[in-house]
Structure 1
Amino acid sequence: MEWLGLHFFTPLPESGYLLLNCTHNPFLVLLAYLVACAASFGTLDMAERVGHVDNLTAKRHWRWIGAGCLAGGIWSTHFISMLALQAPITIHYEWFLTLASLAIALIASLFALQTLSHARMRFHQYLTAATCMGLGIALMHYVGMAAMRSEAQVYFSSGLFGLSVAIAIGASLAALLLSRYLRNGSGMFHQLLKYAASLVLGAGIISMHFTGMAAMQLLLPTGAVPALPIDNNPTQLGLSVAVITLLVIGSSISAALADKKLQHKERDLRRVNALLTELDQARASLQQVAHYDALTSLLNRRGFNQIFAENLAQKAQAEGMLAVIFLDIDHFKRINDSLGHDAGDELLTVLAGHIKSSIRSHNDVVARFGGDEFCILINIHHRDEARHMAQRIMQKMKEPIELAGRRMVMTTSIGISVFPEDGTTCEELLKTADLALYQSKDGGRNSLNFFSSNLKTRAFLELQLEEELRSALRNQKELVLHYQPILDLHKGKVTRLEALVRWQHPQHGLLAPERFIGIAENNGLIAELDNWVLRQACADLGWLTDQGHPELVMAVNCSALNLARDELADEIEYALRSSGIAASRLELEVTENALMGNISSTLILLRQIRALGVALSIDDFGTGYSSLSYLKRLPLNTLKIDRSFIQDIPKSTTDMEIVQAIIGMAHTLHLQVITEGVETQQQLELLIKHGCDYVQGYLLSAAVPASEISAVITALDQRNPPGLAGSKDTTSAKGSSTGSSVVRPIR
């Protein structure tokens, strides 16, 4: 087969021809290999650039530059290798076919770079692309050899010809796989690996060429006189081509390196910009967290105070008015306790929406201060504007809300302060609004109140009392105990005392517990106060024992807040041990509501106290809420009827019937009954008639200091005969009037 003057798969003629032997210039062969290695390195570098560039136009440009490096390198390798051929005849080259071979190399190289542009390819796809690329390189080689013109005819050995094509395909496959592998990497090892791959690929390219040259056989017709070769200095030409090619490849590699550094800088710049953007977002998020409530998206206290200060400064300059509306959701804790905190959060979100829908415009500021407290700042011209807004909010709050399968209605307590009447600073206005809020809560809730000067006076006085109470607890010189006797109606003698705390204030005189117990409870002082009363009462009971009263029982009141403390049992045990009195001589009085507040934990604590041997009494019975099913489970000894059921007896038959029912119920539960607040003989006689066990009140004696209680006990025991209840029943049955002098009060 003859193609472009070349004979493929054609046997050599048997006679009439002379076979020419050819050699190669070793310097040009080495130079060709150097160019092939440089072309391989440039191709790997360009493929890496194509893979890393994001811009499509830049990717296309680098694809063309890479194709030019590969095509120029392969073609220069082929051309220099052809110049290295040394034959005993004159050989020259046709420029058209030579340029055609360069075009074929460029097409094959573009195909290779296009293949490397794909992100992922399977092996069979690489094999197909390598076959096409190898055939293109082989075609370039043999078209270049067809450009060779001489008197000899060119024949090719079939085996070596096929081997050259296989080498071209193998080298192409190796180039594609290595380029894909080396695309993502960095560092010295990666660079050394790229150099080694370039040497291997260069060897493949040069091997393909010289395998094709080895397959070539030059035949000269018999009798033909070969023209001597002309010395046109092929070494200089090959060196010039190599230098030009290497300069082009080197320039391309330098450009790629510069572009790589520029791209890294651009990426670093984008990374810096991205970090700056993230910082801005983080700053905005922190601003959101710092100034807004996460649950309701309303302003929090910090954000509110910032806007409040700005508006306050503006109004101070313009001599305008502002109103601060402080809201507290009534009995919100019950929602959390009964339905859970998730339901409470859902309710707060709904209520926040109600509040926002009640304000007038975006100029009004709404904030959540935490828990169920909300605050509104509005611009006003007169006080009624604040009142009308507060009323709108209260009305909006009363709309039914579906929550956790229940339909409920919430109410709110509101306090209002006005700038500049009630304060000129943020702190003063918030404080005065808070005082007005507490007035609304103390007045029964679901109401609104404006701040007034008497509230400030009262708040100042309570603050002062709080500080002085702390001091009194520290020095323990101003607090005193008074004792009220409790008469046993069956024995006709005083068997119990109730310890009642008093405060001998330096300026205000003797203060009753109603004046300072609430302050102690609201400021975390009640535990310390109760513990002092307990220890002092036990100590005084020990002293009374030495004075001749060994059977007295001491009743000590316990606050509802103190009843929730696990340390209470240990404190009682310590007080008993310190005073040396028996536990059976101490009785702890707790209110009805305190017992029922948290029945499960209360029951555990009461059983611990009963295990010590201390008696338990339920105080103020009938004024709170209790369940008989729970009441029978409590380890109680005594039930004390509140004075409110006694004060209208005997005028109120209803109260008498209630007292009679309570006594009967208590005896059914095996509880003793004490009735407090007994002030008249008629009240006493009716209580004796209905089986009451103990009485206390002004009919017997008011509460007196410890120094006087012994004389009071002695006087009462001497004036009241034993078996008082039994004797009264007898005299009543006979219609005697002697019962009127059975109990004589000690004034």
Structure 2
Amino acid sequence: MLSSTYSQALVACSLLVAIFASYTALDMAGRVATAQGREQHWWRIGGACAMGLGIWSMHFVGMLAFSLPIPLGYDPLITVMSLVIAIIASAYALSLVGEASLPWRRLVAGAFLMGLAIASMHYTGMAAMRMSPAIQYDPGLLLLSIVIAIAASGAALWIAFQLRQYSTRVRRLRAGAALVMGVAIVGMHYTGMAAASFPIGSVCRAARDGVNTGWLAVVILIVTLAVLAIALIISVLDRRLESRTAVLAHSLAEANEELTYLALHDGLTKLPNRMLLQDRLKQAIHSASRGNTRFALMFMDLDGFKAVNDAYGHQTGDRLLVDVARRIAESVRGEDTVARVGGDEFVLVAKIGAPEDAASIAEKLTTAIEVPFQLANLELRVSTSIGIAIYPGDGASERELLANADAAMYHAKSTGRNCYCFFEPSMNADVHAQMQIIQDLRLAMERRELVLHYQPKFDAPAGPIIGAEALIRWNHPTRGLVPPAQFVPFAEKSGLIVPIGEWVLDEACRQMREWYDAGHVDWTIAVNLSPLQFAHTGLIETVRNALARHALKPSSLTLEITESTAMANVEVSLAILRQLQEMGVNISIDDFGTGYSSLLYLKRLPATELKIDRGFVRDLSQETEDAAIVSAIVALGQKLNLKIVAEGVETTEQQAMLTELGCDTLQGFLLGRPMPPTQFLESVEARASADCE
């Protein structure tokens, strides 16, 4: 037999290629296992090519390390066939480890088929030398090489399946596994080579027209290492991109989840908001209609919350709302829905068997809320009025149920508060009447049905006239002249008060300009500001524009705000009032004595006058407590350098007492009723004529 030798350098290179190829194979297995859809398909093709080329290259470099004392060469076609076998075997391996599970039966069958494929690649590569006579193989070593190929394949498949999920620990284990797999593949190859014998006189028929081996080893090594390196680099970069994408996707998912939560829940109490309530109501209606069951919708509004909010500020009011929400949630079952739908309005949707169950829940809620709330050093008391609508009897849709429960709640408020009322059809008449008023009020702006009447203001005790207060009236086409008490609350509720208030301000300034032009340059005009209008961001600009439009001095305008409005949010009120003061506009604190003032803040308000509420004037006499209160208010105002205005003067006794107590200005029916501008001037002229006589 011909004696054979090996190039130690090429043998070492074949081992390194085997280890590198094994690591690449493990990495490709991980990419195939974690990829999805078409991406997985392309990773399987690319991985099979890289992995197959690596295994085949190790085999071919090992053959190039082998030499005989005769010229050697390799048939190109047969050599390519061995490469194709390696790629097919790699593709099969990657498809196995890409499955969700790898049972032992499939592992054994896969190891057997892949081992035979690798052995076929090896011996096909040996056949590429086209030896004559043919290569003789030792049966024992040939069988051993096949067994080694099958065992190595089984181990490789199992390791690749176990290590396909990427992590820092898995990366280290892959390096160790690649070393073991590389040694096993090299062991199979050189066992197969050891099984081959070449008789003396053998000739390599591929040496003459086959591939020249002189430069082939270097080319194969360079190409293989480049392909494997590129495959690994692409895999690493793709994994990093995938990792960053996963982090970004997770962050986006969390952000979307948070946004969804915020969109469906109240930011203060964390209860469902109106949008989520409507969805829950639809589900409750669907479930109840399908199962022929009932549920109750309870509309709750807190009694006395506005007083707390005005007295202690919004921060305390918000904390109170949070505690109220907690008590409501603790008083009902977990499957019931509690929602906050407005400032101090809550809604409960609860499954019931009979109306009596709804009454029991309502009683439990009223009892829970009327217990005093402890906030820091404050003990606060509120109650709740509850309106109850039952499905299916009191409405077929969520909108109808809410409207009916709301109507029942208003009825509960009107009957004494801190109680509950079941909806009755007659209650809807009030709701529809309110809605009609709001609708008519919208049209009143367009149709110019709103007018201003003016009530004169006098220097105490009886004149002269120093100006007027503008008071709105609604000249309704069917109801006649409607006083403000009958429509202003609805304008406040609907938000229409803001455009109405802007119109009032502009019209009062226009009328004041006419009076100026008529010679009454020492008069002032007073205009009331609603809480919504006072808090509106465009107030300062509206006042400035109205004065400029009618060429009025700012000092000719007095803006009246209630004591409660000024104290609702003191810092914000101070900022707005200071801007008005800097403009030159006079500020009057209206209804003084009825709100919840803090004298510490009151002295900081840039006001020019205090207006005593008519409630103190009505029962004014020497022996009443009202006289003491008015006297205290006058003394306080004088200390703060404020003018004192008393409204609601209807008797000569009140006129005399208010003058004696020190009021600067009087206003009331005794001195002059609210009247249209033409009648106002006639009244002034008539009074002037009477004084002359």
TM-score by length of 1: 0.64
Report what 1:575 is aligned to: 546
Counting only pairs closer than 5 Å after superposition, residues 643-658 of structure 1 correspond to structure 2 as 643-650=614-621, 652-658=623-629
TM-superposed CA distance for 1:719, in Å, is 5.9
Match among 366, 382, 385 for residue 413 of structure 1? 385
TM-superposed CA distance for 1:681, in Å, is 1.9
Report what 1:434 is aligned to: 406
TM-superposed CA distance for 1:465, in Å, is 1.9
TM-superposed CA distance for 1:575, in Å, is 2.7
Identity fraction in percent: 27
Check whether the contact 2:142–2:191 (CA below 8 A) recurs between aligned residues.
no
Asked if 1:338 is matched to 2:315, the reply is yes
Check whether the contact 1:473–1:479 (CA below 8 A) recurs between aligned residues.
yes
Match among 329, 333, 339 for residue 353 of structure 1? 329
Q: Distance in 2 between matches of 1:646 and 1:573?
A: 34
Change (3 A) 1:63 1:587: same
Check whether the contact 1:483–1:498 (CA below 8 A) recurs between aligned residues.
yes
User: 1:480-517 deviations in whole A, cap 9, x for unaligned?
Assistant: 22222222127841212112112222322222111111
User: 1:84-115 deviations in whole A, cap 9, x for unaligned?
Assistant: 14xxxxxx99x9x7422422332443465456
TM-superposed CA distance for 1:553, in Å, is 1.7
Change (3 A) 1:611 1:491: farther
Report what 1:392 is aligned to: 364
Check whether the contact 2:313–2:568 (CA below 8 A) recurs between aligned residues.
no
Check whether the contact 1:398–1:411 (CA below 8 A) recurs between aligned residues.
yes
Change (3 A) 1:77 1:101: farther
Asked if 1:591 is matched to 2:562, the reply is yes
Match among 674, 679, 687 for residue 703 of structure 1? 674
Asked if 1:603 is matched to 2:658, the reply is no
Report what 1:50 is aligned to: 93
Counting only pairs closer than 5 Å after superposition, residues 18-167 of structure 1 correspond to structure 2 as 35=78, 38-54=81-97, 55=102, 56-72=104-120, 74=122, 84-85=132-133, 98-110=138-150, 112-113=152-153, 116-117=156-157, 118-119=159-160, 120-121=174-175, 125=180, 128-129=183-184, 132-133=187-188, 135-141=190-196, 144=197
Where structure 1 has 5 or more consecutive residues not aligned to the other structure, the ranges are: 10-21, 86-91, 155-166, 188-280, 722-747
Check whether the contact 1:326–1:376 (CA below 8 A) recurs between aligned residues.
no
Secondary structure of 2:588's counterpart equals strand
TM-superposed CA distance for 1:432, in Å, is 1.2
Report what 2:434 is aligned to: 462
Report what 1:554 is aligned to: 525
Q: Distance in 2 between matches of 1:402 and 1:659?
A: 34
Match among 653, 658, 667 for residue 682 of structure 1? 653
TM-superposed CA distance for 1:420, in Å, is 6.6
Check whether the contact 1:296–1:348 (CA below 8 A) recurs between aligned residues.
no
Counting only pairs closer than 5 Å after superposition, residues 524-535 of structure 1 correspond to structure 2 as 524-535=495-506
Check whether the contact 2:412–2:420 (CA below 8 A) recurs between aligned residues.
yes
Report what 1:373 is aligned to: 346
Secondary structure of 1:53's counterpart equals helix
Change (3 A) 1:566 1:49: same
Q: Distance in 2 between matches of 1:552 and 1:448?
A: 52
Q: Distance in 2 between matches of 1:567 and 1:290?
A: 28
User: 1:19-38 deviations in whole A, cap 9, x for unaligned?
Assistant: xxx998x9xx8787765653
Segment drifting more, 555-564 vs 346-355? 346-355
Q: Distance in 2 between matches of 1:82 and 1:531?
A: 104
Give the letter for the 1:327 counterpart: M
Match among 402, 414, 422 for residue 450 of structure 1? 422
TM-superposed CA distance for 1:70, in Å, is 4.0
Change (3 A) 1:293 1:40: same
Report what 2:171 is aligned to: none
Change (3 A) 1:434 1:133: same
Check whether the contact 2:302–2:385 (CA below 8 A) recurs between aligned residues.
yes
Give the letter for the 1:620 counterpart: D
Asked if 1:612 is matched to 2:583, the reply is yes
Change (3 A) 1:340 1:50: farther
Check whether the contact 2:407–2:423 (CA below 8 A) recurs between aligned residues.
yes
Asked if 1:671 is matched to 2:648, the reply is no
Change (3 A) 1:695 1:506: same
Q: Distance in 2 between matches of 1:110 and 1:180?
A: 26
User: 1:575-623 deviations in whole A, cap 9, x for unaligned?
Assistant: 3333344332221111111111222222222222223322111111001
Secondary structure of 2:594's counterpart equals coil
Check whether the contact 2:497–2:533 (CA below 8 A) recurs between aligned residues.
yes
User: 1:55-105 deviations in whole A, cap 9, x for unaligned?
Assistant: 2543433332333344456557768979614xxxxxx99x9x742242233
Give the letter for the 1:354 counterpart: E
Secondary structure of 1:704's counterpart equals coil
Where structure 2 has 5 or more consecutive residues not aligned to the other structure, the ranges are: 6-67, 161-173, 203-213, 235-252
Check whether the contact 1:35–1:73 (CA below 8 A) recurs between aligned residues.
no
TM-superposed CA distance for 1:717, in Å, is 4.9
TM-superposed CA distance for 1:367, in Å, is 5.4
Check whether the contact 1:401–1:407 (CA below 8 A) recurs between aligned residues.
yes
Change (3 A) 1:610 1:325: same
TM-superposed CA distance for 1:562, in Å, is 0.7
TM-superposed CA distance for 1:678, in Å, is 1.6
Check whether the contact 1:75–1:101 (CA below 8 A) recurs between aligned residues.
no
Change (3 A) 1:548 1:443: farther
Structure (1 or 2) with the larger CA radius of gyration = 1
TM-superposed CA distance for 1:641, in Å, is 0.6
User: 1:176-235 deviations in whole A, cap 9, x for unaligned?
Assistant: x879949979x9xxxxxxxxxxxxxxxxxxxxxxxxxxxxxxxxxxxxxxxxxxxxxxxx
Q: Distance in 1 between matches of 2:672 and 2:128?
A: 133
TM-superposed CA distance for 1:545, in Å, is 3.7
Secondary structure of 2:332's counterpart equals helix
User: 1:424-464 deviations in whole A, cap 9, x for unaligned?
Assistant: 55543321111122344566754322334553222222222
Asked if 1:301 is matched to 2:301, the reply is no
Q: Distance in 1 between matches of 2:69 and 2:654?
A: 145
Check whether the contact 2:112–2:154 (CA below 8 A) recurs between aligned residues.
no
Q: Distance in 1 between matches of 2:660 and 2:263?
A: 69
Aligned residues: 565
Q: Distance in 2 between matches of 1:566 and 1:80?
A: 90
Q: Distance in 2 between matches of 1:438 and 1:592?
A: 26
Match among 327, 352, 370 for residue 300 of structure 2? 327
Secondary structure of 2:645's counterpart equals strand
Segment drifting more, 708-717 vs 330-339? 330-339
Segment drifting more, 659-668 vs 438-447? 438-447
Report what 2:248 is aligned to: none
Q: Distance in 2 between matches of 1:681 and 1:336?
A: 40
Check whether the contact 1:638–1:673 (CA below 8 A) recurs between aligned residues.
yes
